[in-house]
């Protein structure tokens, strides 16, 4: 009985543990500064335009809010935003990378 109760208790706490892990990690702007190599080739060049599949100016992201930037990267990773280059780059980022980059660009 005690064993069963313990297992039940453990199973009950599993979703909570999953929820805690699933919540967004805290962003570290200093760590983000070391992860910008894939961003600066486009976003740090004033006047630079995305050329595929449609030509338009690459957005300014420095000074944007961290929550928006993190949401944007998550949407690219998930496929809710479609730009091919950004989908590829966001797909290579961990949750921590996204939080760090968002914190870094929000601090610029």
Partner 1 sequence: MRLMPGKWLIAASLAVIGMGSATAADIAKGREKADQVCAACHGKDGNTPIDPAYPKLAGQHADYLVRALLDYKSDQRKNAIMSAQAKALSRADIENLSAFYASLPGKLSHKR
Residues of this chain that interact with partner 1 (CB under 8 A) are: 36, 40, 43-46, 48, 54, 56-68, 71, 75, 80-82, 108
Q: Which of 93, 73, 91 is nearest to 81 (CA)?
A: 73
Taking the complex as a whole, how short is the minimal distance between the CB of residue 79 and partner 1, in angstroms? 8
Hey, is 108 helix, strand or coil? Answer: coil
| Closest separation in Å from C-beta 61 to partner 1 | 7
Between 6 and 49, name the residue whose CB sits nearer to partner 1: 49
φ/ψ (deg, to 5) at 79: 100, 5
Phi, psi of 22 (to 5 degrees): -75, -20
CB of 69 to partner 1, least distance (A): 9
Give 28 or 43: the residue with its C-beta nearer to partner 1.
43
Record the tokens describing residue 71, joined without a space. 């949401």
Q: Which is nearer to partner 1, 8 or 62 (CB)?
A: 62
Distance (Å, rounded) from C-alpha 91 to C-alpha 3?
42
């Amino acid at each position: 009985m005690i064993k069963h109760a313990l297992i039940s208790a453990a199973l009950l706490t599993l979703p909570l543990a999953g929820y805690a892990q699933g919540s967004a990690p805290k962003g570290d702007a200093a760590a983000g500064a070391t992860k910008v190599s894939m961003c600066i080739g486009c976003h740090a060049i004033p006047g630079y335009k995305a050329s595929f599949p449609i030509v338009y100016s690459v957005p300014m992201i420095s000074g944007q809010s961290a929550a928006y930037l993190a949401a944007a990267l998550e949407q690219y990773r998930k496929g809710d935003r479609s730009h091919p280059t950004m989908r590829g780059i966001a797909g290579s980022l961990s949750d921590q990378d996204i939080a760090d980059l968002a914190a870094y660009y929000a601090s610029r």
